[in-house]
Amino acid sequence: MEGVIAIWQRDIIRFFRDRARLLGSFAMPFMFLILFGSGMSGAISSMMGGSNGAGPLADFDFVQFMFPGIIGMTVFNTAIFSALSVVQDKEFGYMREILVSPVSRVSIAIGKVLGGSTVAVFQGLMMFIFVPFIGVSISVLMVLKLIPVMFLVAFALSSLGLIIASSLKTAQGFQMVVQILVFPMLFLSGALFPLSGMPAWMNFLVKINPLTYSVDMFKKVILQPDQMAPALRKAMGLDLTVFNHVITFSEEILVVASLSIIFVIFATVRFSRAEA
């Protein structure tokens, strides 16, 4: 446990000491909120049947819909890109020094995953700074409920990032692979656009996308779709269904938790066999 805690603590300290990374984490979410949220809210509302004050989306603020997705995007990117430090440590020779220490490789892998998960939760919580400017109603209870959900999602993505990092030797290669993998998953998760009205083949990709269930959990906590009119929930794609079964919050927790276990097992095995 001492080895796990040491690696975990190192990643957290590096995060808070890197001010450029700390401030830069606001750039992408702010851009999406302004460009896609405020700038395209009218266009999205028109396409979904809210033009000219008609339809279920007439009075809906699209920025509020995007906010859970922005938190999800921040957590996803931070968690999976946290494994970049593994590749950088390989390049600079630091990883070799860790691997020859008495600390087991399993402990190192778990410490890296926990460190990346914790940093991702911190950055996700920092997105609540935008709350006063976008009109989203957030209670303390929502935040407390959201923290373990974010950590669970971040744990799964950090493990996935470690699997990728264990197979690569350069930071450029890692960034390329992650971008090719994450961006399609992000856009097919419902983080930025409603999931209603998609063709059948794309709907299939949405349902097998693990980020879909993660984003939907954030929406259930923040948007409270149970308190919305059925027509509005349907128009915004807030009723996630698989084989005509509406997925509950508990079932989504089970899906993401199962993926977390699978990913972390593969990550520890792959990291244990990887060369420094």
Task: For 46-99, write each residue's pLDDT tens digit.
Answer: 655 554 445 555 556 677 778 888 898 889 888 888 888 878 777 776 666 676
Q: DSSP of the chain, one letter per residue?
A: -HHHHHHHHHHHHHHHH-HHHHHHTTHHHHHHIIIIIITTHHHHHHHTT-GGG-STTTT--HHHHHHHHHHHHHHHHHHHHTTHHHHHHHHHTHHHHHHTSSS-HHHHHHHHHHHHHHHHHHHHHHGGGGHHHHT----HHHHHHHHHHHHHHHHHHHHHHHHHHHT-S-HHHHHHHHHHHHHHHHHTTTSSS--TT--HHHHHHHHT-HHHHHHHHHHHHHT-GGGS-HHHHHHTT-S-EETTEEPPHHHHHHHHHHHHHHHHHHHHHHHHHS--
Give which of 271, 90, 273 is closest to 172, Cα–Cα: 90
Task: For 219-245, write each residue's pLDDT tens digit.
Answer: 989 888 777 777 767 766 677 888 888
| Residue pair 119/197 in contact by the 8 Å Cβ criterion | no
pLDDT higher than 60, residue 15: yes
Entry pTM: 0.85
Task: For 131-170, write each residue's pLDDT tens digit.
Answer: 877 777 788 888 999 999 999 999 999 999 888 888 877 8
pLDDT at 151: 94
Task: For 103-132, write each residue's pLDDT tens digit.
Answer: 677 888 888 889 889 999 998 998 888 787
pLDDT at 61: 66
